[in-house]
Chains A and B, each alone.
Chain A
Amino acid sequence: AQKITQTQPGMFVQEKEAVTLDCTYDTSDPSYGLFWYKQPSSGEMIFLIYQGSYDQQNATEGRYSLNFQKARKSANLVISASQLGDSAMYFCAMRDSFGNEKLTFGTGTRLTIIP
């Protein structure tokens, strides 16, 4: 069965510093996709970044980048130059063919940016 593990329940980071949120996954499917979502206190899940298992380069989207280490089955999210508005819950999720089209989510990391 697919599994996503996020080992950091909470993190505190000084504003303008970079932060890395950890995510490890488990699947035996060679074809899968990894996603990061941000969930502010309002509740909406906001898509941040996607990495496909066959992508040769790590994904980047503005201040977000994904440190994809396939052999270690890790897909860590890096946020550069953190801002107060980055304070939220962050979820890592995976889709593979065994799970059909659904996303399997981790338990999330609560990120708090300190001014």
Chain B
Amino acid sequence: DTGVSQNPRHKITKRGQNVTFRCDPISEHNRLYWYRQTLGQGPEFLTYFQNEAQLEKSRLLSDRFSAERPKGSFSTLEIQRTEQGDSAMYLCASSTLSGGGETQYFGPGTRLLVL
């Protein structure tokens, strides 16, 4: 049984560079979410997909951020022209509807540090 996986686990980059993160959800889950967590805070919603369709984007997701889920399986989150304020943990979660409701299961996250 494999859970949600994320790569890389850690990323250090210089300001202005582009970075891309990958998330592989639990195989039968059709919903995939991205959250961002800064130090001392709870995760904040960025965007979510149902299959390959991106259904909602937070206002936190500036024009420098783009997310894709091209075949309804894995997803990528790209940040262009990174800024120091982008330093955070980026968490991916997946879910599927079940009789008891929907529970989101999270991956280990990608820690981004922008120097």
Contacts and interface: CB of A to CB of B under 8 A. Distances in A.
Interface of A: 4, 33, 35, 37, 42-47, 50, 52, 91, 93, 95, 99-108
B40 A107 contact: yes
Contacts of B107: 44
B103 A47 contact: yes
B72 interface: no
B106 interface: yes
B109 A102 contact: no
Given A45-B43, A45-B106, A52 B101 contact: yes
Interface in B54-70: 55-56, 58
B104 interface: yes
Contact of B56 (A52, A93, A101, A108): A101
Interchain residue pairs A-B with the least CB separation, the first 9: A105-B42, A45-B106, A102-B45, A44-B108, A43-B109, A91-B42, A105-B43, A33-B101, A106-B42
Contacts of B41: 107-108
A44 B58 CA distance: 22
B91 interface: yes
A104 B104 CA distance: 12
Interface residues of B, number: 28
Most buried by B among A33, A95, A103: A103
A93 B101 CA distance: 14
Nearest to A49: B103
Contacts of B45: 99, 102-104
A45 B91 contact: yes
B55 A103 contact: no
Contacts of B44: 105
B106 A44 contact: yes
A42 B44 CA distance: 18
Given A43-B108, A105-B43, A50 B100 contact: yes
A40 B48 CA distance: 24
